[in-house]
Structure 1
């Protein structure tokens, strides 16, 4: 017997899983950096080797630094994009009050200009 699944909820479920996955990656990224700068990995690159006139250890450290900055930037962009789609998907169902609109130029002691 074949079970019929409701496919209307599948995109929402996939979206929820991708958000969880992004948060998991954001948790693991600093831990991975910590592991990559521990002495066993540093000793691999701490040799009398040069790459373009620069010691291999410095290439490793600054390359890792640049890679972490790039990965963090891409990850934060993805997390923000995911959060924005979550809030847009909810629409007007949120209980947050809407901010009050202010008239331009009528705040903090400014007087409205009078017509002559």
Structure 2
């Protein structure tokens, strides 16, 4: 009896879609880790310490980076969802 031939790998579009979803799920975890980093720095009153202004600039930069990353991931997810709806023949706006 011959077995039906199944592809070993996922189709590239499906694989990419899953990786984008995984990245969207990990973005909050990455944000927490990056926002906790200033708590590990030495205080500014100690030699070689980091000042409050540098820490605030770092937190703002991480915050802006998380917003940009979330925007990029949402656009990628939206485009994949619209592509799936087009392939299924459904209206993506419904």
Question: Common fold, TM-score beyond 0.5?
Answer: yes
The answer to whether 1:44 aligns with 2:66 is no
1:90 is displaced (CA, Å) by 1.5
Q: Which runs of 5+ in 2 are unaligned?
A: none
Q: Deviations over 1:67-102 (max 9, x none)?
A: 00010001101100011001101126x9xxxx8xxx
Larger Rg: 1
Do residues 14 (structure 1) and 3 (structure 2) align? no
**How far apart, in 2, do the equivalents of 1:64 and 1:27 lie?**
17
- TM-score, with normalisation over the residues of structure 2? 0.71
In the other structure, the counterpart of 1:74 is: 72
Structure 1: unaligned runs, 5 residues or longer: 100-116
CA distance in 2 between counterparts of 1:61 and 1:45 reads: 16
Q: 1:14 to 1:59 in 2, by over 3 A?
A: same
**C-alpha contact (below 8 Å) 1:45/1:57 kept by paired residues:** no
Return the alpha-carbon distance in structure 1 between the equivalents of residues 12 and 42 of structure 2: 41
Find runs of 4+ consecutive structure 1 residues off by over 4 angstroms: none
**Which residue of structure 2 lines up, in the alignment, with residue 55 of structure 1?**
53
**Structure 1 residue 16: Cα displacement:** 0.5
Query: What is the total number of aligned residue pairs between the two structures?
Result: 82
Secondary structure, counterpart of 2:11 in structure 1: helix
Higher helix share: 2
Contact 1:45 1:60 in 2 (8 A): no
- 8 Å CA contact 2:24–2:73 kept in 1: the answer is yes
